[in-house]
Structure 1
Amino acid sequence: MKNVRLIGTLALLSRRRFAFGLPLLTAGAAISQNASVANAKPGSKAPIVTYHRTRTVDGVKIFYREAGRKGAPVVLLLHGFPTSSHMFRNLIPELADRYHVIAPDYPGYGQSDMPDRAKFAYTFDRFGELVDGLLDQLGVSNFAMYVMDYGAPVGWRLALKHPERVTALIVQNGNAYDEGLKEFWDPIKAYWSDHSEEHRTALYKLVTPEITKFQYTDGVSDVARVAPDNWVHDQALLDRPGNAEIQMDLFYDYRTNLPLYPKVQAYFRKHQPPTLIVWGKNDKIFPADGAHPYKRDLPKVEFHLIDTGHFALEDKADEMVPLIRDFLNRKIAS
């Protein structure tokens, strides 16, 4: 009996201590929360969340990164070779506080499907159709476009098909004029001339680790600002079985972009889309010779040559992001 009474007494004391201590715990939590709020920096905001999603368009799984409020003005980010929407991973959160940002991967790139080339045409026409289909599925009717490298011919196809939908252009090392195809393109032009196996074989060097790294580091004054993860990531995807052949198909199909240039230039002259040029001036693949001609057809273009190479965002985002945000805030912000 003594043991039973002792146990009952201890239980009663425990309940009283818990009941007494609970307000103190609650108060302590409130004090801690208030202290966190008090210590927060003025004007600080919650981190931007980027979502990694897929949609099936015409039977092809298309991966895309998405961030920002739906209903906000849309900014479409179109990547270049040999990368994917990965190239925009740092830019997306810099824009998504005010814009709805969408960055897809083309088939054969990034996390999108890589269909058998015997059953799927790896062409810029097809890429344009699939991006257009993705935008339709997402309910996007108007958008600004950031185009870079391969993203330019994909974007130009969208603009020619839906000129009324394009609210603004940001062009970074992406051609719309013949002046931009210099010495780097000579082996590719040789392949265009005869579609021979000899000239095709010569292009395999363009998908080697050395050239992939070159694209990120050439023309960059401080390579320490460029994450080596970039060329490791891209090369791993290039090295997938069958991917090199896909890239050769696209090198050959790039010839179809040149006849579009006069139509694109006519689009510029007629519609005068607000345009920002942020171009890596040391790029040997798309040199600055291809940037200047935009001024002929877009007299109000905002023109900036950046002291870097091909993938300018990798080391010059601190210079480019303020230009991009200022441009978008003036031209498309609601």
Structure 2
Amino acid sequence: MDTRTVTLNGQDFFLRQWGDPALPKLLMLHGFPEYGGAWSDLAPYLSDRFHCIAPDQRGYGQSWAPSGTEHYAASALVSDMAALIAQIGDPVAVLGHDWGAAVAYGLAMFRPELVSRLIIANGVHPVPFQQAMAAGGAQSEASQYINNLREPDAAQWLSAENFAKLEKFFRHGMGLDWMSDAQMQQYRTEWARPGRLHAMLNWYRASPLVVAEPGKPLTDLPQLPRDKLQVRCPHLLLWGPNDTALLPEATQGLEEFAADLTRIDIPDTDHWLHHQNPQAVADAIRGWVPPEDQSS
């Protein structure tokens, strides 16, 4: 792995990279509460076939972290990564997990010329996810934590006692614990950078998605422009079936938005599949990407 800082839209962003720069590019987008280093488990299994590029996204790690929720609208987050792809050479394959999946979907839907292939690992398209969260059923119940993370004082109580509550949420709230104490300390170091945790939480606050109370479905949500939310490139959905935060219903109907969709489950994994079984995740990606897209 090597690292560098690049300027995107006039701001500094920190990147980690694995593999020969002459290989096809794979842009790897992390979610909450991770950072670009979260791909350190998976990237070594792919770096002989791809030049893996993992940025700390806006508000995370060593990248630009402006204050103010308005800086974390989806259009701004997508613009960051569109600027990065323009620098590294487009189009590229994009892999997104959790909130990184939201940015990856945004790139594929609104900047399709930049994305050759879309890979999502336990992440969700906005329409099926909003439908599931609005239904008042199991996904609504599983997503109640989102409202907690949107609270104005969330950064304060999550960071108290050396990030005790955030650690509990991370290691036990969304699946099985997979990390070592040394890895946990690396995450604490990233979370403790000035203003970062509040910035990370602004991703939740800026999102227009609404979570219904369990048993109280919402019926008055605005209609999303389905014709503008299509994924037209080949799309692979990798899924850890034991995820407790994102349930299978959150991806029901995805085929309506991705005509060229392949679904692959990674057995005995949950939300953190890229940490729990990186070999299986890498094998699934290798098997799905044609050989001509894996060579220089």
> Is the shorter-chain TM-score for this pair beyond 0.5, marking a shared fold?
yes
Show CA shifts across 1:62-92 (max 9, x none).
0111233334322111110111111111222
Structure 2 residue identity aligned to 1:56: T
Map residues 112-191 of structure 1 onto 2, 5 A cutoff. Answer: 112-115=63-66, 117=67, 121-138=71-88, 140-176=89-125, 177=128, 178-179=130-131, 181=133, 182=139, 183-186=141-144, 188-189=146-147
- Greater shift in the superposed pair: 103-112 or 291-300: 291-300
Structure 2 residue identity aligned to 1:152: A
Structure 1 residue identity aligned to 2:28: L
Show CA shifts across 1:14-35 (max 9, x none).
xxxxxxxxxxxxxxxxxxxxxx
Deviation at 1:217, TM superposition (A): 4.4
Corresponding residue number in structure 1 for 2:236: 276
Query: How many pairs does the alignment contain?
Result: 272
Structure 2 residue identity aligned to 1:146: L
Map residues 20-59 of structure 1 onto 2, 5 A cutoff. Answer: 50-59=1-10
**200, 203, 213: which is aligned to 1:247?**
200
- C-alpha distance in structure 1 between counterparts of 2:33 and 2:269, whole Å: 18
Corresponding residue number in structure 1 for 2:181: 228
1:304 match: secondary structure: strand
2:107 match: secondary structure: helix
- C-alpha distance in structure 2 between counterparts of 1:216 and 1:329, whole Å: 35
Residue ranges of structure 2 left out of the alignment (5+ in a row): 134-138, 211-220
Over aligned residues, Cα RMSD in angstroms?
3.2
Structure 1 residues 145 and 286, CA, compared in 2 at 3 Å: closer, same or farther? same
Corresponding residue number in structure 2 for 1:215: 170
**207, 216, 230: which is aligned to 1:267?**
230
Deviation at 1:213, TM superposition (A): 4.1
Deviation at 1:56, TM superposition (A): 1.6
Q: Would the aligned equivalents of 2:56 and 2:62 in 1 still touch at CA under 8 Å?
A: yes
Structure 2 residue identity aligned to 1:323: A
What TM-score do you get using the length of structure 2 for normalisation? 0.78
- C-alpha distance in structure 1 between counterparts of 2:48 and 2:79, whole Å: 29
- C-alpha distance in structure 1 between counterparts of 2:241 and 2:158, whole Å: 21
Structure 1 residues 107 and 191, CA, compared in 2 at 3 Å: closer, same or farther? closer
Corresponding residue number in structure 2 for 1:315: 276
- C-alpha distance in structure 2 between counterparts of 1:264 and 1:234, whole Å: 39
- Greater shift in the superposed pair: 99-108 or 64-73: 64-73
Structure 1 residues 112 and 157, CA, compared in 2 at 3 Å: closer, same or farther? same
**89, 98, 106: which is aligned to 2:40?**
89
2:144 match: secondary structure: helix
- C-alpha distance in structure 2 between counterparts of 1:172 and 1:311, whole Å: 9
Show CA shifts across 1:155-202 (max 9, x none).
22222332133221111111112255422323535888xxxxxx4336
Q: Would the aligned equivalents of 1:179 and 1:289 in 2 still touch at CA under 8 Å?
A: no
- C-alpha distance in structure 2 between counterparts of 1:98 and 1:315, whole Å: 21
Structure 2 residue identity aligned to 1:276: L
- C-alpha distance in structure 2 between counterparts of 1:79 and 1:129, whole Å: 16
1:293 aligns with 2:253: yes
1:201 aligns with 2:153: yes
- C-alpha distance in structure 2 between counterparts of 1:119 and 1:252, whole Å: 7
Q: Which of the two has greater helix per residue?
A: 1
Residue ranges of structure 1 left out of the alignment (5+ in a row): 1-49, 193-198
Q: Would the aligned equivalents of 1:160 and 1:264 in 2 still touch at CA under 8 Å?
A: no
Structure 2 residue identity aligned to 1:186: Q
Q: Would the aligned equivalents of 2:36 and 2:56 in 1 still touch at CA under 8 Å?
A: yes
Deviation at 1:253, TM superposition (A): 0.8
Q: Would the aligned equivalents of 1:173 and 1:287 in 2 still touch at CA under 8 Å?
A: no
1:68 aligns with 2:26: no
Corresponding residue number in structure 2 for 1:23: none
Structure 2 residue identity aligned to 1:328: V
Deviation at 1:254, TM superposition (A): 1.9
Deviation at 1:119, TM superposition (A): 10
- C-alpha distance in structure 1 between counterparts of 2:228 and 2:5, whole Å: 33
